[in-house]
Chain A
Amino acid sequence: MAQWEVVIGLETHTQLTTVSKIFSGSSTEFGAAPNTQASVVDLAMPGALPVMNRGAVERAVKFGLAIGAKINRRSIFARKNYFYPDLPKGYQISQFETPIVQGGGLTITLDDGATKFIELTRAHLEEDAGKSVHEQFDAESGVDLNRAGTPLLEIVTEPVMRSAKEAIAYAKTLHNLVRYLDICDGNMQEGSFRCDVNVSVRPMGQKEFGTRREIKNLNSFKFMQQAIDYEVQWQIAEIEDGRKIQQATVLFNPDTGETKAMRSKEDAMDYRYFPDPDLPPLVVSDEMLARIKASMPELPEAKCARFSSQYGLSHYDALLLSQDGSTASYFETAVNAGADAKLVANWILGEVSASLNREDKTIEQSPVNAVRLSNLVARISDGTISHKIAKTVFEALWSGEAASVDAVIEAKGLKQISDSGTLEKIVDEVLAKSAAQIADYKAGKEKALMSIVGMVMKASQGKANPAQVNDIVRRKLA
């Protein structure tokens, strides 16, 4: 059996965060009653003309700068012609020959820490279509044009990914980036971030690409993984059974986990692109470019490098903390409030993340805010509480049992015992009952010491200062 190589390219439709549509003054807000946000331009009434939204242009430029792409100072809008009821004009305004953003790329990090640069082909501005509903009416389809004219930036990669893992890593990195830049809210349920995945396979070592099939409209990373895995297996099985892959557009069915062709190449669309006579060339002025450059936030990669150097974090921790803007700012707020950076990092990536995951919350919704976490960590650093007790305090803060770190420590009597007189007394009591362990320790078994320290900690209900206990036990048994 031949070894197969998977080739993947992605096209991602990101809905831009403008308040109004790309060519009209209609609202883009999600969830309004059908057709209440559709103006004469969106409805394609005769004589209505498109007027370009500056906000959409600025967001596209921002993206281009972030990925080191070429910003085409002069780009062209074209008509992509096809007929469907949710596209009243009979064409979609898009960009074809000269998109606003060309080239550039993103560095992805895989689970094993390996990195790869994913080259982008282009990113172009276009309008979204409306929505059709088929179940609500008996013999007709319903058309809602609220979404028609919503600004999209379609971001296209070169076919450079070689596994589902790489594709997912790319999609997640892009998802983080567009939210960082605040150009897309990234809400996948509401369709603000939709991925089309082009998949083909070829025998390992072959130069030419195999025939690709395009999986449309994946709106979760989990579905993307499932869809690619299924599609790859399907294509390999087809070829190994002696059949040829036909170029096609396929849909993923989450219920069955399968992909299914919706149209094959024979009736493939011929979009007959041509420059839209309603829209002269889009020019990005020097002034606009300079203004956007000046407003660029620190990007994830730069932030990751800074977290490593400034706070002495490992690359892996820095990467996890810098991947999304909210986590990064939570981290820096906690550190700026005075706590040790490495400890704060451990807490965010440990206890805080675990608790957020458990309750399906985002870090902005964390019941323990950054300053409170900072106070907690400070109390570990200054020896007031042990690490273990800190977890108890954290849980109390999380559940809302108490409002401040010190209040919890006080109320529960959790303060660490560092008074040597008290500690010595507890140690003596434990040693009196530990003849066997003492003999073991004296016979050279270092483990026995740990067991004695453990018993002391237990006897103190976890409140004893572990380092001090260690010293006292060693001294007494010396």
Chain B
Amino acid sequence: MSLTTQDIERIAHLARIRVTPADVADVQAKLDGIFKLIDEMQAVNTQGIEPMSHGLDMVLRLRDDVVTETDHREKYQKNAPQAAEGYFLVPRVIE
């Protein structure tokens, strides 16, 4: 399959990545390459093989339900561009 310019714009929007009009062709070619790779994998006969959801053959480790973390807000918020009254501040968002 081959991606259209609209597909590229939509994928870029969903990923919140800015792709300038000048870059579209380049991105399109790279993504097409990835899809070609996927097509090749799809062509492999996998009949009789149980699908895996993870690359490693292991199961999820479980931890006991206990509180092990303590409050490090001050330290963590030093990383934030803006914080006040204990909140992280972000550009105003209202749905």
Tally the A-B contacts, defined by beta carbons under 8 Å. 127
Contact of B65 among A43, A53, A85, A280 (CB under 8 A): A53
Chain A residue nearest to B72 in the complex (CB)? A39
B66 to A: closest C-beta gap in Å: 6
Measured between beta carbons, the chain A residues less than 8 angstroms from B54 are 275, 277, 279-281
A447 to B85 Cα, complex, angstroms = 75
The answer to whether A139 touches B64 (Cβ under 8 A) is: no
The answer to whether B60 touches A34 (Cβ under 8 A) is: no
The answer to whether A140 touches B89 (Cβ under 8 A) is: yes
A55 to B65 Cα, complex, angstroms = 5
The answer to whether A52 touches B89 (Cβ under 8 A) is: no
Given contacts A25-B68, A85-B93, contact A142 B63 (CB under 8 A): no
**18 additional contacts (CB under 8 A) given A19-B65, A282-B59:** A20-B65, A20-B68, A25-B63, A25-B69, A34-B85, A34-B87, A35-B86, A52-B63, A134-B92, A136-B85, A140-B90, A140-B92, A141-B92, A141-B94, A144-B87, A277-B54, A280-B58, A281-B59
Does A239 count as interface, using CB distance less than 8 angstroms?
A: no
Measured between beta carbons, the chain B residues less than 8 angstroms from A145 are 88
A56 to B64 Cα, complex, angstroms = 10
Does B71 count as interface, using CB distance less than 8 angstroms?
A: yes
Given contacts A35-B77, A35-B88, A76-B53, contact A51 B95 (CB under 8 A): no
A466 to B: closest C-beta gap in Å: 58
Does A396 count as interface, using CB distance less than 8 angstroms?
A: no
Contact of B67 among A20, A52, A144 (CB under 8 A): A20
Q: How many residues of B contact A (CB 8 A)?
A: 36
Of the A-B pairs whose beta carbons lie under 8 Å apart in the complex, a sample of 28, sorted by A's number, is A26-B67, A26-B69, A27-B67, A33-B86, A35-B88, A36-B73, A37-B69, A37-B71, A51-B63, A52-B63, A53-B62, A55-B65, A76-B53, A84-B93, A85-B93, A133-B87, A134-B92, A134-B94, A137-B92, A140-B82, A140-B92, A141-B90, A142-B85, A279-B54, A279-B60, A280-B53, A283-B59, A283-B60
Measured between beta carbons, the chain A residues less than 8 angstroms from B60 are 52, 77, 279-283
The answer to whether A140 touches B69 (Cβ under 8 A) is: no
Chain A residue nearest to B92 in the complex (CB)? A141
A57 to B59 Cα, complex, angstroms = 14
Is chain A's interface secondary structure helix, strand, loop, or mixed overall?
A: loop
A279 to B85 Cα, complex, angstroms = 34
Contacting residues of chain A (228-280) with chain B, CB-CB under 8 angstroms: 262-263, 270, 272, 275, 277, 279-280
Mark A17-29 against chain B: 1 for CB-CB distance below 8 A, else 0. Answer: 0111000111100
Measured between beta carbons, the chain B residues less than 8 angstroms from A51 are 61, 63
A426 to B16 Cα, complex, angstroms = 91
B86 to A: closest C-beta gap in Å: 4
A25 to B62 Cα, complex, angstroms = 12
Given contacts A25-B66, A140-B92, A281-B54, contact A36 B71 (CB under 8 A): yes
B36 to A: closest C-beta gap in Å: 19
A24 to B92 Cα, complex, angstroms = 28
Does B84 count as interface, using CB distance less than 8 angstroms?
A: yes
B73 to A: closest C-beta gap in Å: 5
Chain B residue nearest to A16 in the complex (CB)? B65
Chain A residue nearest to B87 in the complex (CB)? A142
Does B1 count as interface, using CB distance less than 8 angstroms?
A: no
A126 to B: closest C-beta gap in Å: 15
Contact of A136 among B61, B65, B69, B87 (CB under 8 A): B87
Given contacts A275-B53, A283-B60, contact A142 B89 (CB under 8 A): yes
Contact of B55 among A54, A56, A277, A283 (CB under 8 A): A277
A42 to B91 Cα, complex, angstroms = 20
Does B44 count as interface, using CB distance less than 8 angstroms?
A: no
Chain B residue nearest to A82 in the complex (CB)? B14
B54, B60, B63, B89 — most chain A CB neighbours (10 Å)? B60
Measured between beta carbons, the chain B residues less than 8 angstroms from A54 are 62-65
Does B56 count as interface, using CB distance less than 8 angstroms?
A: yes
Chain B residue nearest to A55 in the complex (CB)? B65
Measured between beta carbons, the chain A residues less than 8 angstroms from B66 are 19-20, 25
A6 to B35 Cα, complex, angstroms = 44
Chain A residue nearest to B83 in the complex (CB)? A35
